[in-house]
A = this chain, B = another copy of it.
């Protein structure tokens, strides 16, 4: 274990003023249709998949309240057979990957994020290795982030397997920081729902967030090792499906960054993607990212006993309907 020389997090009160990203992106994509058969089979010895009849009556909801009615008639082409176990990775391109990297901030309470350059370079080269077309942006103000995101949402992703957006920044519970202002992370993914970005409908939309979600610490617990198809021609999907959001830490908690080697989460993610990105499905891979972060890392700040020997666990939220495997192009 090395010796930690300093604590980089900043002290201060919540900084919650300023605008947040909002509003739908403009739709400019050609929406085309091609019909091909497929079936949800993993391999010849795969388990028994069968689907229930979706005959239904008397549907009700587990809430009170009257929802708003949205009369939508948007259609999108499906990139994969209806019951396929895996997302299609057979498009011309793997897809766009955007990294919003933040080292410096105009907000005076936010300290420089030393080590994030290492994260950004490592993540960029890892994603390029998986075939992504990577664009890194540094220290953007909120209006410029909005521009980048809107442009990404307006892009025609028809020839792409998927989309990825990574944010490396300071954060708080429900808040990420641009160079000059805070914003809500959910406003990032709101641009990419299937209705707003039909050329990504039915494709994985992956969000990676390296940021604190609060200032609580996880002291950990000491462990002692003990042992040891039918396809239909047309169907509807929810507009919020096919999202994968990987947070470096759980809500309310601190997220650790090494000022020399980069953040624990991005280190573990890049290592796991490099070792197993082409072999393992993404949720299995992220489970092992969680294992690496949870077991391999512990804070080392002997000069600050309160921060010393603390642990971290990432928090992965999935609305995926198929498995993601980055088979080589």
Contact = CB atoms under 8 A, between A and B. Distances in A.
Interface string A283-306: 110111011101111111100011
Q: Interface residues of A toward B: which range?
A: 35 or more
Contact of A4 (B49, B56, B236): B56
A92 interface: no
Nearest to A306: B69
A95 interface: no
A258 B49 CA distance: 23
B169 A62 contact: yes
A213 to B, nearest CB: 8
Contacts of A236: 220-223, 295, 298, 309, 311
Interface string A138-159: 0000000000000000000000
Nearest to A232: B225
B52 A267 contact: yes
A97 interface: no
Contacts of A232: 225
B313 A241 contact: yes
B3 A65 contact: no
A171 B63 CA distance: 6
A38 B225 contact: yes
B202 A218 contact: no
16 contacts: A1-B54, A4-B58, A6-B60, A52-B296, A56-B297, A60-B114, A62-B212, A75-B223, A79-B227, A80-B228, A90-B227, A220-B239, A222-B235, A239-B311, A316-B317, A316-B319
Given A33-B226, A236-B311, A241-B313, 13 more contacts: A9-B64, A47-B275, A48-B275, A49-B275, A63-B255, A68-B217, A77-B224, A79-B226, A201-B223, A223-B235, A225-B232, A250-B319, A287-B321
